[in-house]
Amino acid sequence: MNTQEATPLQVRVGQGAQQTVRVSPASLGRTPDNEVVVNHPLVSRRHLSIEWSADDGWQVIDAGSTNGMFVSGVRQTVVTVAGTTRINLGDGQTGPVLELTPLGPAAPTIVPASGGVHAQRPPTPRPATPGPATPKPVTPKPVTPGPVTPPPAPSSHPVRAQPVRPMWRGLRR
């Protein structure tokens, strides 16, 4: 992908310093050759790519990382950034939190058109959409009970096992 100017994107990992990304693509990973460096054991050398497109705005794309990225605890491969978006790196609960905030619309892009040139503004930011839709919870259907056999009634007198005696023995006449 060719580097292109984009709406500035404010990036912050955990309580670290804020960085502003102005070019696309920008890589995030553990090694110093990334535009955004995150020195954390759950983060891969090249963990993800932050990319701008005039149609979709900013998107965060997993770069084949070992531990992935998560939105609301669900692993994602592509996340569209709109407003402030939070992504956990490496683990949905304990991984470092990547916070992304678009800083404003980009300057108009000149797009050649048939018969002339016109200015085009980028689309209005949309809410973060984490990859595939999360399935809705399934409501369990009530179980219709079949015939129920009640348990035996408890005896009011304890039963003791006694030896059985033949009736012809021990009978006295």
Mean pLDDT of 56-74: 95
Nearest to 42 by CA among 99, 100, 87: 87
Nearest to 123 by CA among 59, 50, 40, 32: 59
Strands of the chain, DSSP E: 4-13, 19-24, 26-29, 36-37, 48-53, 57-62, 69-71, 74-76, 78-80, 85-89, 97-102, 109-113, 116-120, 129-130
**pLDDT computed for residue 20 by the predictor:** 95
**Is pLDDT larger for residue 136 or for residue 60?**
60
Query: For a pLDDT cut of 70, what percent of the chain falls above it?
Result: 57
Whether residue 148 is contained in a domain is answered as no
pTM: 0.58
Tokens representing 136 are 């809705």
Whether residue 119 is contained in a domain is answered as no
Q: Which residues in 36-55 are b (16+ Cβ under 10 Å) and which e?
A: bbbeeebbbebbbbbbbeee
Q: Rounded to an integer, what distance in angstroms lies between the CA atom of residue 67 and that of residue 106? A: 32
Dihedrals φ, ψ of 85, to 5°?
A: -120, 135
Q: Is the pLDDT of residue 117 over 50?
A: no
Mean pLDDT of 117-141: 56
If you average pLDDT over every residue of the chain, what do you get? 79
Whether residue 146 is contained in a domain is answered as no
Whether residue 123 is contained in a domain is answered as no
Whether residue 167 is contained in a domain is answered as no
Whether residue 118 is contained in a domain is answered as no
Whether residue 48 is contained in a domain is answered as yes
Q: Are 89 and 98 in contact (CB under 8 A)?
A: yes
Whether residue 88 is contained in a domain is answered as yes
**pLDDT computed for residue 104 by the predictor:** 74
Give residue 53's domain range: 4-107
**pLDDT computed for residue 1 by the predictor:** 46
Mean pLDDT of 82-108: 87
**Counted domains in the chain:** 1
Q: Is the pLDDT of residue 120 over 80?
A: no
Q: Rounded to an integer, what distance in angstroms lies between the CA atom of residue 79 and that of residue 17? A: 22
Query: For a pLDDT cut of 90, what percent of the chain falls above it?
Result: 49
Residue 21 sits in a domain of what CATH number?
2.60.200.20
- The residue behind tokens 């006449």 is 173
pLDDT in tens, 6-49: 789 999 999 989 999 998 999 999 999 999 999 999 999 999 99
